[in-house]
Amino acid sequence: MSELPKGWADAELGDAVVPIETDDPRKKPESHFVYVDIGAIDNKTQRIVEARSLSGAEAPSRARRVIRNGDVLFSTVRTYLKNIAMVPPELDGQITSTGIAVLRASEAVDARYIFNLVRSDEFIRSVSLKQDGTLYPAITDNDLLTHKIKLPPLAEQKRIVAKLDSLSAKSARARIELARIDTLVTRYKQAVLSKAFTGELTKKWRVKSVALPRPGSIDEILKMPIRNGLSVKGREAPPGVRALKLSALRGQSVNMNDVRYLPIDNDRARRFLLENGDILVSRGNGTKELVGISSLVPSHSEPTIFPDTAFRIRINIEQALPNWLAHIWNAPQCRLQIEKAAKTTAGIWKISQRDLSGTKLLIPSVDEQHEIVRRIESAFEKIDRLAAEAKRALELVGKLDEAILAKAFRGELVPQDPNDEPASVLLDRIKAERAAAPKTKRGRGNKHTTLETRPSAHGKT
């Protein structure tokens, strides 16, 4: 083992915690308690967020362990998921599952130090090696409590925790601000599309042109009527005619590789074949904001048809550009018309061909449409680049947090103080306290146990 910082000691995690009490709510069917199981812990924020209120009659057999304010809860099932949290004051005296180890710090150890230690990547990596089982890989309480740790003096633990809290607060603020970028990106893109729809985006450019945008509707620029696709049961592999799945329409551009194969002849497929520049619009969606969203059909070489779950819009390219309409179609002004016309049946929002063909537009000259597309795509490219940088920054914040934790548990985050009581003395005192405490029942012959034979003395379970 590497050389320890001054005053630190090698220990087992069980040396730093004390036994807990257990209770069986089922013995009191009329009682009520809050049950904290694995699903109650948010493993991203590492907080308890969805604990359930149950009666004793509803209590599962695993609801046995009493938790106290400041206890550290550590899920022993799939440890790599980091279902770890500290118990807040309002859950003092409640119950957790036997699938969660309850780490209750002794008076000589800082609970926040234990919390930060067991959620560090290095601790999780090493303890996860002890997992057994394939369907529900897990460790035992004993695996956890006998796990080797490096324990600093208590005074240094407190300095480490204070420093971690300070740095965590800063990274949390950074996360919040960076997470807002996604919302801002959506809003900014919608603002660009809104200006494109009204002509504001190219107002100054239009000074060079005598052609002003004219009010119109989709049906005025169609090459052929809007139609819906073909509904035939298909299969995942050839033979058959390539047909898009509805999931192919999830982006600005249609995914021409997201297909199935239909057992139909070429004559039947001909009316539904797609051309470069066609626009596909979803006919229905469980979410109103997503019904009628458009995707542009890109250049493709293999004959492909579209499904019954989509409408095909094919426009006259002498009057309008496909990529101009594809952008404008998702502008707030068009979305408002589509969502107003959408009707719901059995929870599915749907739009009709008639509704689509009547959608009102401001139709500029083809030259101005080219300029609108150029400006939209230039603006979107800049926005997406900023969003990608924000995403990378968010990933770096996570790596920075872990690097800080690793540094803390190497003894490099705060300075050592030669006047601190050494951890070895602290551990001896813990052992003396345990020797003087009432004997506890061992669980299945484990060296360490977190369970006591006596039930909770707390009034409520």
Q: Residue 454: its pLDDT value, please?
A: 42
Whether residue 213 contacts residue 364, with contact meaning beta carbons closer than 8 Å, is answered with yes
- Distance linking the first and last C-alpha atoms of the chain: 43
* Structural tokens at position 434: 């345990």
Cα distance between residue 402 and residue 343, in whole Å:
49
Tell me the per-residue pLDDT of 270-312, one tens digit each, with 9 for 90 and over. Answer: 999 999 999 999 998 999 988 999 999 999 999 999 999 999 9
Helix 121-128 with 111-118: angle, nearest 10 deg: 60
Cα distance between residue 398 and residue 283, in whole Å:
40
Q: Residue 444: its pLDDT value, please?
A: 41
The CATH code belonging to domain 9-152+419-455 is 3.90.220.20
Mean pLDDT throughout 120-134? 90
Whether residue 78 contacts residue 124, with contact meaning beta carbons closer than 8 Å, is answered with no
Same fold, 9-152+419-455 and 214-363: yes
Q: Residue 231: its pLDDT value, please?
A: 86
Name the one residue in this structure whose structure tokens are 């996570």: 398
Please tell me the least confidently modeled range out of 91-95, 183-187, 369-373, 431-435: 431-435
Whether residue 75 contacts residue 138, with contact meaning beta carbons closer than 8 Å, is answered with no
Mean pLDDT throughout 409-436? 88
Tell me the per-residue pLDDT of 137-173, one tens digit each, with 9 for 90 and over. Answer: 999 999 999 999 999 999 999 999 999 999 988 988 8
Q: Residue 178: its pLDDT value, please?
A: 87
Q: Residue 449: its pLDDT value, please?
A: 47
pLDDT greater than 90 at residue 68: yes
Tell me the per-residue pLDDT of 190-217, one tens digit each, with 9 for 90 and over. Answer: 999 999 999 999 998 887 666 788 999 9
pLDDT greater than 60 at residue 319: yes
For 6, counting Cβ atoms within 10 Å of its Cβ (0-12 exposed, 13-18 middle, 19+ buried), the class is middle
Q: Residue 440: its pLDDT value, please?
A: 55
Q: Residue 295: its pLDDT value, please?
A: 94
Number of Cβ within a 10 Å radius of residue 141: 22
Mean pLDDT throughout 27-33? 94
pLDDT greater than 80 at residue 450: no
Mean pLDDT throughout 77-104? 96
Domain residue spans in the chain? 9-152+419-455, 154-207+367-415, 214-363
Q: Residue 458: its pLDDT value, please?
A: 40
Cα distance between residue 410 and residue 327, in whole Å:
54
Please tell me the least confidently modeled range out of 322-336, 371-385, 422-436: 422-436
Mean pLDDT throughout 233-237? 90
Q: Residue 460: its pLDDT value, please?
A: 41
Q: Class of the 214-363 domain?
A: alpha beta
Q: Residue 439: its pLDDT value, please?
A: 66
* Structural tokens at position 59: 């209590």
pLDDT band per the 50, 70, 90 thresholds, residue 321: very high
For 436, counting Cβ atoms within 10 Å of its Cβ (0-12 exposed, 13-18 middle, 19+ buried), the class is exposed
Number of Cβ within a 10 Å radius of residue 415: 9
